[in-house]
C-alpha cells in the first residue's frame, strides 16, 4: 500500500519549528518509515512546481509553520491547502502570529523606514534603497514577493484542520500528532493538539500562587534574585501561566518555569480564553491589592501599571495577530492587507 504523503512548509518564522522536526531525533526515522515526505524545502531540494504538479488532496497532511507576512507565503499556503487533505498549523507564529506578529504595531512603510532608512546604526544605505517587488537588471526583471502591512495567522488565510502550539512545539506532541493523524482516528476539526488546561494547573509552584496579589512593585527577571520555589506572580514577576495552555513539558512544570523563568505564553491560550492579553490583564486586575486593604486606590493601581515596561509586547507577545485588536491602525497607511 502506498505510504501517506507528508509536507512541511516554512513561512514567517525564525526556523525553530524546522528545528523542532529535527528534534524528533531518531523518531524521525520512524516517521520516514511510515510516510513519504513529498515537500520540505528547508531540508530537501523541492520546488514549487513539484507541488503544483500534484493532484488536489494528494498530500495526506501538511504542517505549515510561521505566520503569513508576504504574498509568496500566502500563495504557498493556498496552494498547499488545495493539495492537502489536512493542514496542521504548526507552532506559535502559524497559530497566533507569534513574534513576527508583533510587527502589526507598525506597517510596511515604517518597518522599511526603520530597517533601511538610516535609523538603524548598522545599515549603510545613503540612497535609502528599499526592497522593490520588480527590479530591472541587464538580464531582465527580478521579482520579490509583496511584503504585507499586516502579519496574518495561517487560519486567517486558509482553512486549518489542527493546531500544534508552542515556540516551538514539543517533539513528543509533534510525534503524537503525526501518529494520531496517521491512525485515521482524527480529533475534532479545529482541535489544538495539546492538553486543554492552564499551565498553572501543572505547575509545582501553584501552591504558592497568591489568592490576592499583594504587591506594590512589578519586578523584572533581570533585576531581582528569583526564588526557585515560589510562584512568579507572588514575587511580583508577570508570568503568563494562568492564561497559557500546558503541555510544553508534558505534565511537568513548563519548560521556562523549570529553568526558573516565568512563562511568556508561547503555547497560546486554553480553549476558553479568546484573547490572551485581555484575559491576563483581567486576571491581574482581579487579584491585585495591598496587604490588609480591600481595594487599591486608582493612583496605586496606576503606579503599579506604570512599572510594566512594554505591556503590549508582554501580554500579546505571541498572540497579537490573533487578538481582538489584531493590529495597530495606521491612519496614514496606503495599504491595509
Residue 263 gets the label, from left (phi > 0), alpha (psi -120 to 50) or beta, of beta
Which listed residue (239, 273, 280, 330) binds ligand SF4 by CB under 6 A? 239
> Do β-strands 162-164 and 84-90 pair in parallel, antiparallel, or remain unpaired?
parallel
Compose the 165-194 pattern: x for residues touching ligand SF4 by CB under 6 A, - for all others: --x---------------------------
| Residue of the chain from 66, 97, 195, 242 that contacts ligand SF4 (CB under 6 A) | 242
Furthest-apart CA atoms within the chain: distance in Å:
77
Per CB under 6 A, the list member of 66, 100, 169, 241 interacting with ligand SF4 is 241
**How many residues lie near ligand SF4 (CB under 6 A)?**
24
Nearest CB to ligand SF4, comparing residues 70 and 249: 249
Report phi then psi at 288, rounded to 5.
Answer: -75, 140
Kindly report the backbone phi and psi dihedral angles of residue 32, in degrees, each rounded to the nearest multiple of 5, phi listed first.
-65, -30
- Which residue in 3, 82, 197, 255 binds ligand SF4 (CB under 6 A)? 255
Residue 267 within binding range of ligand SF4, rule CB under 6 A: yes
Stretch binding ligand SF4 (CB under 6 A), from 126-134, 176-184, 265-273, 303-311: 265-273
CB of 243 to ligand SF4, least distance (A): 9
Any contact of residue 257 with ligand SF4 (CB under 6 A)?
yes
Task: Please return the burial class of 84, using the count of CB atoms within 10 Å of its CB with bins 0-12, 13-18 and 19+.
Answer: buried
- x/- letters, 217..236, toward ligand SF4 (CB under 6 A): --------------xxx---
Minimum distance of ligand SF4 from residue 39's CB (angstroms)? 28
Quick note: the x/- pattern for ligand SF4 over 192-211, rule CB under 6 A, is -------xx--x-xx--x--
- Render 7-36 in DSSP notation, one character per residue: EEEE-BS-SHHHHHHHTTTTHHHHHHHH-E
Residue 315 burial (CB count, 10 A): 23
Q: Determine, following the binding rule CB under 6 A, whether residue 248 of this chain makes contact with ligand SF4.
A: yes
The residue ranges that bind ligand SF4 (CB under 6 A) are 167, 199-200, 203, 205-206, 209, 231-233, 239, 241-242, 244, 248, 254-257, 263-267
Amino acid at each position: 500500500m502506498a505510504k501517506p504523503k507528508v509536507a512541511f512548509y516554512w513561512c514567517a518564522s525564525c526556523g525553530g519549528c524546522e528545528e523542532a522536526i529535527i528534534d524528533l531525533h531518531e523518531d524521525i526515522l520512524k516517521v520516514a518509515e511510515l510516510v513519504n515526505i513529498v515537500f520540505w524545502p528547508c531540508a530537501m531540494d523541492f520546488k514549487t512546481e513539484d507541488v503544483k504538479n500534484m493532484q488536489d488532496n494528494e498530500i495526506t497532511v501538511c504542517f505549515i509553520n510561521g505566520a503569513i507576512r508576504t504574498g509568496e507565503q500566502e500563495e504557498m499556503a493556498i496552494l498547499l491547502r488545495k493539495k492537502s487533505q489536512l493542514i496542521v498549523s504548526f507552532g506559535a507564529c502559524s497559530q497566533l502570529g507569534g513574534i513576527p506578529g508583533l510587527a502589526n504595531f507598525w506597517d510596511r512603510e515604517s518597518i522599511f523606514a526603520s530597517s533601511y532608512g538610516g535609523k538603524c546604526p548598522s545599515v549603510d544605505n545613503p540612497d535609502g534603497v528599499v526592497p522593490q517587488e520588480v527590479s530591472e537588471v541587464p538580464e531582465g526583471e527580478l521579482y520579490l514577493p509583496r511584503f504585507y502591512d499586516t502579519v496574518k495567522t495561517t487560519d486567517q488565510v486558509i482553512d486549518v484542520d489542527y493546531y500544534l502550539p508552542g515556540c516551538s512545539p514539543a517533539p513528543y506532541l509533534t510525534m503524537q500528532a503525526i501518529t494520531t493523524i496517521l491512525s485515521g482516528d482524527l480529533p475534532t476539526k479545529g482541535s489544538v493538539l495539546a492538553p486543554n488546561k492552564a499551565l498553572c494547573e501543572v505547575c509545582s509552584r501553584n501552591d504558592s500562587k497568591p489568592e490576592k496579589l499583594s504587591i506594590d512593585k512589578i519586578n523584572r527577571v533581570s533585576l531581582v534574585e528569583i526564588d526557585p520555589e515560589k510562584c512568579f506572580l507572588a514575587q511580583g514577576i508577570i508570568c503568563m501561566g494562568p492564561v497559557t495552555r500546558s503541555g510544553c513539558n508534558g505534565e511537568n512544570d513548563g519548560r521556562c518555569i523549570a529553568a526558573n523563568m516565568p512563562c511568556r505564553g508561547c503555547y497560546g491560550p486554553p480553549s476558553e480564553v479568546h484573547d490572551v492579553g485581555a484575559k491576563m490583564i483581567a486576571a491581574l486586575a482581579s487579584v491585585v491589592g495591598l496587604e490588609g486593604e480591600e481595594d487599591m486606590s486608582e493612583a496605586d493601581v496606576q503606579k503599579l501599571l506604570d512599572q510594566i515596561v512594554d505591556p503590549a509586547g508582554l501580554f500579546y507577545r505571541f498572540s497579537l495577530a490573533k487578538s481582538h485588536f489584531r493590529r495597530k491602525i495606521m491612519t496614514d497607511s496606503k495599504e491595509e492587507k
